[in-house]
Amino acid sequence: MNRAQVDLNRLAVMDAAKATRLLHKVREETLAGRTPPVAPRPVIDASWQRMSRLGVDPDQGTSSVLLQREELEERRRSSVLGEVMRTLSAGLAGIADASMQIMVVTDEQGRVLWREGNLAVLRQANGICLEEGAAWSEHTTGTNAVGTALAMGRAVQVHSAEHYVHTLHNWTCAAAPVHDPRDRRLLGIVDVSGPASSFHPATLALVGSVAQLAEAEMRERHLRSIERLRSVAAPILCRVGGRAVAVDTHGWTAAVTGMAPVDRIALPKSFRAGRVWLPSLGMCAVEPLPGGWLLRVAEDDARPDGAGGGAASRVVLDLSRPRRPAVSVTGAAGSWSQELSPRHAELLYLLALHPEGRTAAELAQDVFGDRTRTVTVRAELSRVRRNLAAVLAHRPYRFSEEVEVELRHPADPADLLPHSTAPAVLAARSATSA
């Protein structure tokens, strides 16, 4: 029989002192290895276990070395979040001020870049080092909304004694990640924090909604930039013979001629003008455009020796960094890599575990626990194959036989794809940690 778990909605209507005592008891008993009166929420329990493995002292403070002003300003200038700060502030800062809280925005490493809100709470936040330039990842300050949202890749609320470090027990916080809609790269965290007395379970939904609003604004900005690039590239492509495509700096297609259009082309990180071999196109002549690149596909199919079909010889699926899974492909033409979405990381992990291949139904069972969800699986694998067609086969889905596949695991088995709730991944975590 499943034990009762902490329920934030029920805590919100309980007597405040009684709710506080309950959370303290749950934390005390759980950290001591005893059975608490009710179980901690799964997201909190998992974080506490990570803190224990990391050796974080629950009695430590939350101070950290602040970024120098010059580095802080440089991170602000280079962060895409700076473009949507007005949206974040309009959605949260005023509400935070009125409810005796503050809004905090961090980068992808958990460093505080901006904060706004109630002046009295801002002064209190200085006492726990929740200030600009401070580090708020889990390994620095223990379980907290910012750090745990970074670790889990999803919105998280942490209240009172759910914080691992006792210094934060008088605080409540709710945080959500913000991703770049162009490549799903994590940009940072938006958070609302305040004294524990300001706790409300609806704060999490509010923060998540504002984070999605910021992503929508970035998406709209991206579409406008694609339109500007298209207006420049269209007349150029009219004069180009053969196959060519105009893409923005992230590989999104603005215009195409002589070939079937695709949404996006994977570009290496060190992309530059000249002759470049791309896995999805072959050898291309690359020319700069305002806001992007013109890719002219070599009609003679000129490629480095051995490149082209079957060029890829090695694939490295790197899951050693829990929040940043990536895949690298190496062949005679060189190598390239890209970060993976959580779902694509799951699918490639499962294919690496099963070199003989998996059908869509088997993968649906592995990922969702439901063999009927084959349409979703096929759609996701279709997206994966846009960039990995050279190394992936289908019927059944599998890595090509001529490709060497290396799977890199995290140091701790419990950190294997921590975002995943796929039955096959959960089983793998249990088996490797047993």
Lowest mean per-residue pLDDT among 118-127, 221-230, 414-423: 414-423
Closest among 337, 229, 336 to 276, alpha carbons compared: 336
Three-state secondary structure string covering 332-355: CCEEEEEECCHHHHHHHHHHHHCC
Q: What is the reported pLDDT for 307? A: 38
Mean pLDDT (the chain) is: 90
Q: What is the reported pLDDT for 424? A: 92
CB atoms within 10 A of CB 414: 16
Q: What is the reported pLDDT for 224? A: 96
Whether residue 230 has pLDDT greater than 50: yes
Amino acid residing at 154: R
| Beta carbons within 8 Å of 373's beta carbon, 6+ residues apart | 364, 367
Q: Are 45 and 39 in contact (CB under 8 A)?
A: yes
Closest among 15, 321, 16, 27 to 158, alpha carbons compared: 27
- How far is Cα 36 from Cα 199, in angstroms, rounded to an integer? 23
101-129 confidence digits (pLDDT tens): 999 999 999 999 999 999 999 999 999 99
- How far is Cα 388 from Cα 379, in angstroms, rounded to an integer? 14
Whether residue 252 has pLDDT greater than 60: yes
Q: Tokens at residue 222, please?
A: 């991206």
- How far is Cα 52 from Cα 141, in angstroms, rounded to an integer? 13
Q: Are 37 and 48 in contact (CB under 8 A)?
A: no
Q: Which long-range contacts (CB under 8 A, 24 or more apart) does 50-53 make?
A: 50/138, 50/151, 50/414, 50/415, 51/138, 51/142, 51/143, 51/164, 53/412, 53/414
CB atoms within 10 A of CB 58: 17
Q: Distance between terminal CA atoms of the chain?
A: 22
Number of residues in the chain: 434
Whether residue 302 has pLDDT greater than 70: no
Q: What is the DSSP letter of 420?
A: -
16-31 and 42-54 helices, crossing angle to 10°: 50
Q: What is the reported pLDDT for 332? A: 55
pLDDT interval class at 305 (50, 70, 90): very low
> At 285, is the secondary structure helix, strand, or coil?
strand
Amino acid residing at 109: Q
pLDDT interval class at 433 (50, 70, 90): low
Q: How many CA atoms lie within 13 A of 308 on its CB side?
A: 9
Q: Where are the alpha helices (DSSP H) in 239-297?
A: none
- How far is Cα 74 from Cα 163, in angstroms, rounded to an integer? 31
Q: How many CA atoms lie within 13 A of 17 on its CB side?
A: 0
145-152 and 42-54 helices, crossing angle to 10°: 90
Cis peptide before 342 (omega within 30 of 0): no
> At 157, is the secondary structure helix, strand, or coil?
strand
Whether residue 434 has pLDDT greater than 70: no
> At 165, is the secondary structure helix, strand, or coil?
coil
Whether residue 342 has pLDDT greater than 60: yes
pLDDT interval class at 339 (50, 70, 90): confident
- How far is Cα 97 from Cα 102, in angstroms, rounded to an integer? 6
Mean pLDDT to the nearest integer, 128-154: 95
Mean pLDDT to the nearest integer, 226-249: 91
